[in-house]
Structure 1
Amino acid sequence: MPLLPRRFERLKSVLNRRMADLTVLLEHVEKPHNLSAILRSCDAVGALEAHAVSLDGRPRTFNSTAQGSQKWVALRDHPDITSAIEHLKGKGFRLYGTHLGVNARDYRECDFTKPTAFVLGAEKWGLTDRARDLMDEALYIPMRGMVQSLNVSVASATLLFEALRQRERNGTAPTEGEGLTPEHYAQLLFEWSYPDVADWCRREDRPYPPLSEEGELMEDLPRNVKLRC
């Protein structure tokens, strides 16, 4: 079925608000409900992607809580926490680890308007010692009850929406695609609009066809490829 213009406009409106400089890094967060809820929160605030370090031999699954958000927020795998943190720091992210400690700051006192990665640990144990040692800053979410921590998916949503609030307040939350490079924006727009054609192009090692302003393919493709549109 051809891509409808209103669908194309919807995809663009979402991409216009995506932020490549806001993300989460999940260390050994394995429960499908939590993973799904975290990706849904990432999608809701406009985070472009998430990162994860998983336990060996634990296949990743999602449940209905995700509401399909895993299709729109890529989850990037890393072999270990050290390489994951080095990757993010190499891209200019400041890493905030969620754990209680003597030097931890109230999350409301932190500045999340610059490239920000929230690092959250396993549901039961929190961050490993290695992860804590590599953080730029430790933060916590104040609790008034007997339990001193939130569920990891709730904590991630709290932090992500605080980052969005700060960016909206100072005018740095993107609205016209400025949260991505033009090249990345065009790549994602095509992959979201025509995922099957994008898969074919990658297999054939060829560039994506150009799109018209209305989202139509501007290249004559093989018939078997057109049928996938």
Structure 2
Amino acid sequence: MLPRRYHRIKQVLDQRQPDLTVLTEDVHKSHNLSAIIRTCDAVGILTVHTLNVIDELPEVSLVAKGSDKWIFLDSHPDIKTAITHLKQQNLKIYAAHFSEESVDYRQIDYTQPTAILLGAEKWGVSQEAAQLADGHIIIPMLGMVQSLNVSVAAAVILFEAQRQRLGAKMYDNTRLAPETYQRILFEWSYPDIAAKYQEKGECYPSLGENGEIIQ
């Protein structure tokens, strides 16, 4: 482990936002899911939640450019289970969905614990998902098309969330619990060695100032 890479990993982990996430519902095209994951990495999201009832979870493609190594994927069996799980973490669920209750996505306060729900490429979120969500958001469209590609919509919304959180200085201090931080830091720094410790059911060793393993 080169010290420069270790400190880069720490810098990224320092800015991860544990209370900002995305939930995808039946996003079945791998390039779309990969692009969403790449955007999530760019704005500091730690975990992406997914569920695929219609099709299997797509394989993350090269569009992710390796960003999937720095994002945890949490798969759920159905939309009710997924949303219940997120609400138990005190997250507000905002579905990208057009309805009479929909508001401009920029009206949401993304400095609060937030999950963005994105639906299938062709149909959007399911009716059940829309009913379970805390609110509906839309991206105003001024042309002939009525909606954006799901990965583009994710980027538009998430960079607004990033803008608000930067303004609130939420990236300035580490927001992960210390034990979670140290666990992920070791796994990101030494994935192969971490896997061996997991197989043995042993705790990870400590890391030195420049990432060296301290036995």
TM-score of the aligned structures, taking structure 1 as reference length? 0.92
Instruction: State the match for 2:143 in structure 1.
Output: 145
Contact map agreement 2:48 2:72 (CA 8 A) in 1? yes
Q: What is the Cα deviation at residue 170 of structure 1? A: 2.1
| Correspondences of 1:1-229 after superposition (within 5 Å) | 3-55=1-53, 58-171=56-169, 173-177=170-174, 179-219=175-215
Helix, strand or coil at the partner of 1:176:
coil
Instruction: State the match for 1:224 in structure 2.
Output: none
Larger Rg: 1
Percent identity of equivalent pairs: 50
Contact map agreement 2:26 2:54 (CA 8 A) in 1? no
Q: What is the Cα deviation at residue 176 of structure 1? A: 3.4
Distance in 1 (alpha carbons) for counterparts of 2:59 and 2:202: 31
What do the CA deviations read for 1:76-122 (whole angstroms, capped 9, x no partner)?
10000000000000001000001111010001111111110000000
The amino acid of 1:24's aligned partner reads V
Helix, strand or coil at the partner of 1:23:
strand
Task: Output the aligned Cα RMSD.
Answer: 1.0
The amino acid of 1:184's aligned partner reads T
Distance in 1 (alpha carbons) for counterparts of 2:166 and 2:160: 10
Distance in 2 (alpha carbons) for counterparts of 1:184 and 1:4: 22
Tell me which stretches of 4 or more aligned residues in structure 1 moved more than 4 Å: none
TM-score of the aligned structures, taking structure 2 as reference length? 0.97
Q: What is the Cα deviation at residue 60 of structure 1? A: 2.2
Helix, strand or coil at the partner of 2:137:
strand
The amino acid of 2:173's aligned partner reads E
Structure 1 residue runs of 5 or longer lacking an equivalent are 220-229
Distance in 1 (alpha carbons) for counterparts of 2:192 and 2:6: 16
Distance in 2 (alpha carbons) for counterparts of 1:157 and 1:218: 40
Helix, strand or coil at the partner of 2:116:
strand
Q: What is the Cα deviation at residue 145 of structure 1? A: 0.7
Distance in 2 (alpha carbons) for counterparts of 1:68 and 1:55: 26
Aligned residues: 215
Distance in 2 (alpha carbons) for counterparts of 1:17 and 1:176: 7
Distance in 1 (alpha carbons) for counterparts of 2:56 and 2:198: 28
Q: What is the Cα deviation at residue 211 of structure 1? A: 0.7
Q: What is the Cα deviation at residue 13 of structure 1? A: 0.6
